A and B are shown apart, each in its own frame.
Chain A
């Protein structure tokens, strides 16, 4: 297959460019080779540059919480695993690991996803936002986080990061939801303390905080 000799191995390249010829990564000949070959390349666009057949990249750059993070990710690795166990972002929780409980919810390009069911390699060039990326650098909490504090939204709070990320994502599409609408928006998240009523109250408060902070 002729195309296979032409790899795009430069992450951080604008989507339109990087997708021009886009058969990415195959690990066949070993990680060491692929990582080494990567390290000698700059992160500038390298379209058309030839590399060895069948050599894929595991060392990739992810945009997480506004930072470029280098990470060695296996092809079968999920984003939740990478975030927690490679990047130390343990605010993203792994509950069911089957796209059911929502505790691993993160935003990818502002849309909520179950990070347990997204392959890390598929988010190259996209913006990942986790619970750690919500607060300001000065420590000021995100208005939704503040709403959770204000209303003491959660009990054990294992599900909290997921609920907050789902809410932040939902509010981008509907900033002024009714209680019913917000419940629909966060319905992909489970709480086993089942404190849904108080959670919803706190997230409604968060939505209100957010609207207020956007005005001011």
Chain B
């Protein structure tokens, strides 16, 4: 794999390295050579969009896999099933004889689930492929990208009224992870969600050290942090109960808004919070664990005395690097007289660990798939190469997809298999679906029209029509933006 990165007038970005890593993970090649160079061009500066490197790498490889499958007479899902990562799949180059590996991958299951729900075999077998001037094609693509980081802090307060207040430092991009990740904490404490509050949106509100909202890391990183804080709170509740009611902390359980000894004494969380304030020290935030971030320490200091204050760093072990995976399926209908095509159906089957919030997850999976679809069906930016000037400033020129460019009923599904290397089991989603959105469309087009017509994105009516007319690719793969 030889990646040439045209990043405008400035120096390299990470896209080329990331494309090599992602491809080596997603297709598990037995041997792989990767080279990346950056060229400087007299064009406008640019920066990474969603799934930087992953999108480009997967979209380069996918049509090649599709072509190989056709040459071999192997089903498109089957060839991907054979080659996709599984379990602690290795990726990237060997360093001192050792390769990095993923925390987990259940992409085979995602492929199987997707193929079943998409009725892949039926669609493949359906005849005729062509009626009049219309041709149908189906495509499948693997997709993945990074899915989480570790080491951030969680912070919560149990108030003397018995409510649990989660201090959330997550920047809300509308995916609602700012709220949702704390359900992990509520679950640990056995507190109904209605008794919980989430404080967020402003760093003056005494929030913990938190990951930035980017890199598809939030759900993974912050469920871990929320879990850690809740476990810390649980430990304190047990200690307080033992101090007040006798016995040893480990004899106490936490649940139903109480701390209790099986068949014995108990107290409510509200009572425990009052005792925490009486006890002070580490119980009400006057002292703080040494390993939390200084930002968290400042927040704890500000909250001290308001109840049982629990702050903790995510120190959970993780064996491997976290990625999320998607298998994407698309069917297109092409009019060979005009080159115009429509996406008939689309399905994304996601392996993103435990599902925290199904509706928000569905929005992410399909929304980011559509971002990729946009790259397949027309999104571009055009500059005049002689003058180095943008000419496609307007949406009707650079063509972000509209609601009518995607199927009116897009489908998604998620495996809900927990990742074994994180206590809650949830991985990030966001970037992982992007490449699959793009490549599944391109693969469906080549299923409809043949492998030799084009190897590029975007593919528009003009791309298809000129190439069909000439019987060979007429738009250079690297001249994507015209």
A180→B406 CA distance, assembly (Å): 11
Which B residues are CB-close (under 8 A) to A101? 395
Which of under 10, 10 to 19, 20 to 34, or 35 or more describes the interface residues of B?
20 to 34
A184→B176 CA distance, assembly (Å): 28
A196→B400 CA distance, assembly (Å): 12
**Residue B403 is within 8 A (CB to CB) of chain A in the complex:** yes
A156→B178 CA distance, assembly (Å): 12
Task: Assess whether B175 is in contact with A198, with CB atoms less than 8 Å apart.
Answer: no
**Residue A197 is within 8 A (CB to CB) of chain B in the complex:** yes
- Nearest-neighbour CB distance to chain B for A70, whole angstroms, equals 35
A200→B368 CA distance, assembly (Å): 16
**Residue B339 is within 8 A (CB to CB) of chain A in the complex:** no
Residues of B328-384 at the interface with A, using a CB-CB cut-off of 8 Å, are 359-360, 362-364, 366-368, 370-371, 374
Closest chain B residue, CB of each to CB of A153: B363
Task: Assess whether A196 is in contact with B359, with CB atoms less than 8 Å apart.
Answer: no
Partner of B403, one of A100, A152, A156, A186: A186
Task: Assess whether B408 is in contact with A156, with CB atoms less than 8 Å apart.
Answer: no
Could you say which of B174, B367, B403, B406 has the most chain A C-beta atoms within 10 Å of its C-beta?
B403
**Residue A155 is within 8 A (CB to CB) of chain B in the complex:** yes
**Residue B125 is within 8 A (CB to CB) of chain A in the complex:** no
**Residue A41 is within 8 A (CB to CB) of chain B in the complex:** no
**Residue B409 is within 8 A (CB to CB) of chain A in the complex:** yes
**Residue B173 is within 8 A (CB to CB) of chain A in the complex:** yes
A132→B360 CA distance, assembly (Å): 26
Residues of B125-183 at the interface with A, using a CB-CB cut-off of 8 Å, are 173-176
Task: Assess whether B362 is in contact with A180, with CB atoms less than 8 Å apart.
Answer: no
Task: Assess whether B395 is in contact with A197, with CB atoms less than 8 Å apart.
Answer: no
Chain B interface helix/strand/loop/mixed: helix
Closest chain A residue, CB of each to CB of B400: A190
Task: Assess whether A179 is in contact with B400, with CB atoms less than 8 Å apart.
Answer: no
Given contacts A155-B174, A155-B363, contact A196 B403 (CB under 8 A): yes
Given contacts A183-B404, A184-B404, contact A194 B367 (CB under 8 A): yes
Partner of A198, one of B359, B395, B396: B359
Which A residues are CB-close (under 8 A) to B367? 155, 193-196, 198
A186→B408 CA distance, assembly (Å): 12
**Residue B394 is within 8 A (CB to CB) of chain A in the complex:** yes
Partner of A154, one of B174, B370, B394: B174
Task: Assess whether B404 is in contact with A96, with CB atoms less than 8 Å apart.
Answer: no
Task: Assess whether B359 is in contact with A155, with CB atoms less than 8 Å apart.
Answer: no
Given contacts A155-B367, A195-B363, contact A200 B401 (CB under 8 A): no
Closest chain A residue, CB of each to CB of B404: A187
A196→B410 CA distance, assembly (Å): 9
Partner of A156, one of B174, B364, B370: B174
**Residue B402 is within 8 A (CB to CB) of chain A in the complex:** yes
A54→B173 CA distance, assembly (Å): 51
- Nearest-neighbour CB distance to chain A for B6, whole angstroms, equals 24
- Nearest-neighbour CB distance to chain A for B381, whole angstroms, equals 15
Residues of A87-132 at the interface with B, using a CB-CB cut-off of 8 Å, are 96, 98, 100-101
A189→B370 CA distance, assembly (Å): 15
**Residue A192 is within 8 A (CB to CB) of chain B in the complex:** yes
9 A-B pairs with the lowest CB-CB distances in the bound complex, closest first = A155-B174, A194-B370, A156-B174, A195-B367, A100-B395, A197-B410, A196-B403, A198-B363, A195-B363
20 residue pairs A–B, Cβ–Cβ below 8 Å: A96-B394, A96-B395, A100-B394, A101-B395, A152-B176, A152-B359, A155-B173, A156-B173, A183-B408, A187-B403, A190-B402, A193-B363, A194-B366, A194-B370, A195-B367, A196-B370, A197-B410, A198-B363, A198-B366, A199-B403
Given contacts A98-B394, A156-B173, 18 further A-B contacts (CB under 8 A): A96-B395, A152-B176, A152-B359, A152-B360, A155-B173, A155-B363, A155-B367, A187-B403, A191-B403, A193-B174, A193-B367, A194-B366, A194-B367, A194-B400, A196-B403, A196-B410, A197-B410, A200-B408
